[in-house]
Amino acid sequence: MRKHFDSLIIGGGIIGSSIAFQLAKRGYKVAVLEKGKIAGKASGAAAGILGTQTELTEDGPLFRLACKSRSMYQTLIPELEDLSQLHIGCRNNGTYKVAVDQDQESELKRLIERQVGLGEQAEWLTIEELIEREPSVSRELRGAMFIPKDGQLEANELSLAFAKASVTLGAEVFEFTNVIDFILKDGKALGVKTIMGEILADSVIVASGAWSREVLERTGLTLPIIPVKGECFTVIPEKQLIQGTIFSHGCYIVPKRSGRVLVGATVKANSFDERVTVEGLSSLMEKAQTLLPDIGKAEWDRGWAGVRPQSADGQPFLGEHPDYKGLYIATGHFRNGILLAPVTGVLIADLLEGKTDQPNPFGLARLQSSEKGVLL
């Protein structure tokens, strides 16, 4: 193993792998250090929804960042598939954000007006129009906000594709390699200590998802990140039930290329527990059948859980450590890690190269310097 790299990335999920891909494209000697298997945690457990307009309802830096990231997939997916020889399974059938009552209908119509005003595409479908497009949805719904650009893909394959593409471009990936500590001197990060020995680098990037807080505490920084458990399951219907993704409060239903239908996701804060529970899955089943009655007749496939990183203010942390030069942080993406992966890789690579001349709304400056870990 090389003992010196241009950049070390701690974490082999989709965020770390996207950063590795972008840096390798720019000629950096990169190593990814993953304590388990690549995409073995939240990245491999995600539903793969590119929910810019579905998940984010207010204009602001995060919404604009998400729009940019979503648009990057058009050229990025063919590039990743070519370099990795993996099929990412992108489907652009849009998302239906459904209303189950009059209040939700009014809320969604206001949201459509705001997003159209921002130049995005969205339209209201009456229940009759929705059923014409998706005959299997419940007749009890009020209608839906249709978002044509919010597609979906295979999250696990995408995560692996980023990693394999980065290796094709010269990066090195080390699975089952736990980082024990950082090598810090005179306000600068010089590398890390691992079970394989010390590894030096010009820059170190922490992209450890929900485990980033634990990793960074070794530097004296308590990052306000909490783990949020989410459970999902898949079923195999006898016939195709839906074309587009169905999204509602507390439940989404995603038709996958294999013919399976994915249902997610529960939300349990402050939990690293990755066990699948009867309580969690039964609540999802009930919600799914309310939206798509025939899903109750589908064959059971499997269930699983993942742990997502949520920041205290709902914004990801993308920037340099407040105390140590050369130590960068990329975490806190919560439910939007798949969506924000492309732009995160570019943003962190640009930060390393000093190419950003605009204020960074996602940087660590929003932490109080006198009391690290408290948001301003």
CB 112, CB 147: distance < 8 Å? no
pLDDT digits (tens, 9 = 90+) for 56-112: 988 999 999 999 999 999 999 999 999 999 999 999 999 999 999 999 999 999 999
Determine the CATH number of domain 93-149+227-311.
3.30.9.10
* CA separation for the pair 318, 18 (Å, rounded): 13
Domain 4-77+155-224+313-366 matching CATH 3.50.50.60: the answer reads: yes
Q: Quick check: 358 pLDDT over 90?
A: no
CB 254, CB 260: distance < 8 Å? no
N-terminal to C-terminal alpha carbon distance within the chain: 42
Mean pLDDT, rounded, of the chain: 95
Contacts of 297 (CB under 8 A, 6+ apart): 237, 238
- State pTM to two decimals: 0.95
**Regarding predicted confidence, which is higher, 22 or 374?**
22
Strand pairing of 251-255 and 188-194?
unpaired
Encode burial over 222-243: b for 16+ CB neighbours within 10 A, e otherwise: ebbbbbbbbbbbbbebeeebbe
Percentage of the chain lying above the pLDDT 90 cut: 93
- Which tokens belong to 125? 């479908």
* CA separation for the pair 329, 353 (Å, rounded): 15
Percentage of the chain lying above the pLDDT 70 cut: 97
- In this structure, the chain runs to a length of 376
pLDDT digits (tens, 9 = 90+) for 185-232: 999 999 999 988 999 999 999 999 999 999 999 999 999 999 999 999
Q: Provide CATH 3.30.9.10 ranges for the chain.
A: 93-149+227-311
Placement of tokens 């394989």 in the chain: 196
Bond preceding residue 265 cis, omega within 30 of 0: yes
Which pLDDT belongs to residue 3?
A: 86
Q: Provide CATH 3.50.50.60 ranges for the chain.
A: 4-77+155-224+313-366
